[in-house]
Amino acid sequence: MAAPFLPTLTRDSVLDGRDVAELLHLPLSTVLEYARRGVLPGHKLGRRWVFIRDEVDAAVRAAPVRAQAARVRDSRLDVGRNHAPLREGQMTLPINGVA
């Protein structure tokens, strides 16, 4: 059985961590942590991480849309529920009109 066709790597298709950080508008430390955890596809060569532009593009496109926004919205719905009772002298601040 023949090996699958892999396109030739070029300078433009291979990125380092700084390139990915700039592309995604993230701190370099976040890009490297995501690579270490497997969130972003990366290849460790010695001490360096290298990224294939097409793999990063595919991973970003496949990521859940607005997952963070959904968590924030859900947490705001829980305001006032499952929280410890207020101690004397404490007060609550309204969030979107809900106290």
Mean pLDDT of 73-98: 56
Tokens of 51: 């990224």
One-letter-per-residue 3-state SS of 12-30:
CCEEEHHHHHHHHCCCHHH
What confidence score (pLDDT) does residue 39 get?
93
* Whole-prediction pTM: 0.61
Mean pLDDT of 66-80: 57
What confidence score (pLDDT) does residue 64 get?
83
What confidence score (pLDDT) does residue 68 get?
56
Q: How confident is the model at residue 63 (pLDDT cuts 50, 70, 90)?
A: confident
pLDDT of 28 above 90: yes
One-letter-per-residue 3-state SS of the chain:
CCCCCCCCCCCCCEEEHHHHHHHHCCCHHHHHHHHHHCCCCCEEECCEEEEEHHHHHHHHHHCCCCHHHHHHHHHHHCCCCCCCCCCCCCCCCCECCEC
pLDDT of 2 above 70: no
pLDDT of 51 above 80: yes
